[in-house]
Amino acid sequence: MKHLEEYRRALADPLAYARNLKQETGKAVIGYTCSYAPEEVIMAAGAHPLRLFGTKKQIHLSDSHLQSYCCSVVRGILEEGLSRRADVLDGVIFPHTCDSMQRLSDMWRMNIPFGFHLDVTLPVKLDTESAKEYMIDVLKKFRDDISRKLNVEISDDALQKAVSTTNAIRQSIRTIYDLRSQYPHLLPGDDLYNIVRASMIMDRDQLAGMLAETVAELRELAIGAGPATEKRVLLAGGMCNQPDVYALIERAGGEIVWDDFCTGARYFDGQIDAGTDPMTGIAERLLKRVVCPAKHIDLDGRARHILQLAKDKKAAGVIFLLLKFCDPHAFDYPYLKEYLDEAGIPLMLVEIDDTLPAGGQMQTRFEAFLEMLEKEKP
């Protein structure tokens, strides 16, 4: 398949990709830290949105700002700023999510000399009328703020165009997930990982075209493809910075048929109604999409969502990747387990720091878990 290598390359060094893109197109590069960032507004400002995942390399500068009990994502993002490895960024925006990200925003503003800094103080509660209005207000304020920072007008037309691009991207990735869920052999898991993450890194206009081609190729391949015999697994948790997990699970005899990551399926969940006022449309998608546990829609929507996913995707089990020191997900885990237990769906918890446990240990654990899963009955 022709674009897989490009996705892979973009992901291998997102900052180098951004540097190149900036050189070629002159686009300002705007970093963001969370899937609630309104990418469309950045795009409509003629800038390039780049999600920051944090580095795992050479973490030493952030140790003088963050205690040992801070997650590796926050630590890694700060490191990229302090080391100036991320100095391609013309600005960084910080949507409000968890306590650690909240303090990362402060530290970035106080310590990073390059680029501008913007907070997007989104509501935490998403289920009331006043929260909805506040969400729209905050997004409008962000539109004003970033147009001032970049010194450009952001027209409704540009917003509409950005919305149709991101809608197309989301639709394509969803289709890729769907096809792969049906025929897991079509695409190795780590390529799926690369695609969804590359979509937060690569130029969105270019990406929309590439993804459409990838979809077409996969559709072609799907004709005549046989059903998979591996055990079907759903991944859940926060964000996954571990591409190796996919290969390990596949080697252990499993197929990852869907996920609930903010760097995965939660990123492309929901479409923006381009017919309405674009800012309201963007807000409505953020209010309705599958929720991050740092936000609140209801008391058990997330568990119901994961259960439904497991049923729809015929997953025999769920593997929950818990990033060490990620409080919102750690608080959710026991009740998710309770719901899954009740439904008879096995759940495996894997706590991940910045790196996976060494050697074959992880693979052995995955094998043991997959062993006990029932195969889907054809």
Partner 1 sequence: MTDIKQENENIPVNYEKLMREIMTIYYIDAKTARQNNKKVAWITSGGPVEPLIAMDIIPVYPENYGAMIGASKMGVDLCKKAEEMGYSSDLCSYARGDISCATVNGGPIGGLPKPDMLVCCNNICGTVLKWYEIQARYFKVPLFIFDTPIVHTEFTPEMKNYVQRQMIEYVQFLENATGRKMDWDRMKDVGKLSVEGQQLWQEVLDTTISRPSPMTAFDAFFFLALIVTLRGTSQTIDFYRGLRDEMRRRVSVGQGAIPHERYRLLWDNLPIWYRLKWLSKEFAKHDACLVADTYTSAWCGSLKYVDENDFIGSAAESYTRIYLNIGVDKMAEIVLSMIDKYGADGIVLHSNRSCKPYSFGQYDIQKIVERERGIPSLIIEADMCDERSFSEAQTQTRIDAFMEMIRTAKGGS
- Binding residues for partner 1 (CB under 8 A): 64-67, 69-70, 96, 98-100, 102-107, 109-111, 119, 121-125, 128, 130-131, 133-134, 137-138, 141, 293-294, 296, 299-300, 322, 324-325, 327-328, 330-335, 337, 351
What is the smallest separation between the CB atom of 332 and partner 1, expressed in angstroms? 7
Please, which residues bridge with residue 91 across strands? 30, 116
What is the smallest separation between the CB atom of 29 and partner 1, expressed in angstroms? 22
Tokens, residue 223: 């004709």
Distance CA 197, CA 208 (A): 14
Measure Cα distances from 278 to 131, 143, 162, 203, 344 in Å: 18, 11, 10, 21, 42
DSSP 184: G
Nearest CB to partner 1, comparing residues 111 and 171? 111
Nearest CB to partner 1, comparing residues 88 and 239? 239
What is the smallest separation between the CB atom of 373 and partner 1, expressed in angstroms? 20
Nearest CB to partner 1, comparing residues 121 and 363? 121
Q: How would you list the strands of the sheet with 254-260, edge to edge? A: 254-260, 231-237, 317-323, 347-352
**Closest to 11 in 3D by CA, of 176, 201, 208:** 201
Nearest CB to partner 1, comparing residues 125 and 251? 125
What is the smallest separation between the CB atom of 24 and partner 1, expressed in angstroms? 34
Nearest CB to partner 1, comparing residues 46 and 328? 328
Nearest CB to partner 1, comparing residues 73 and 252? 73
What is the smallest separation between the CB atom of 219 and partner 1, expressed in angstroms? 41
DSSP 125: B
Cβ neighbours, 10 Å, residue 311 = 11
Nearest CB to partner 1, comparing residues 18 and 294? 294
Residue 236, classed as helix, strand or coil, is: strand
Distance CA 344, CA 86 (A): 46
What is the smallest separation between the CB atom of 65 and partner 1, expressed in angstroms? 5
Going along the chain, which residue ranges are E strands? Answer: 29-32, 48-51, 91-95, 116-120, 231-237, 254-260, 317-323, 347-352
Cβ neighbours, 10 Å, residue 371 = 10
Tokens, residue 344: 């008879």
Stated as kind and residue range, the H or E segment containing 211 is helix 204-222
Please, which residues bridge with residue 120 across strands? 95
What is the smallest separation between the CB atom of 239 and partner 1, expressed in angstroms? 16
Nearest CB to partner 1, comparing residues 139 and 218? 139
Residue 231, classed as helix, strand or coil, is: strand
What is the smallest separation between the CB atom of 223 and partner 1, expressed in angstroms? 45
What is the smallest separation between the CB atom of 17 and partner 1, expressed in angstroms? 29
Distance CA 325, CA 300 (A): 22
Nearest CB to partner 1, comparing residues 212 and 322? 322
Residue 340, classed as helix, strand or coil, is: helix
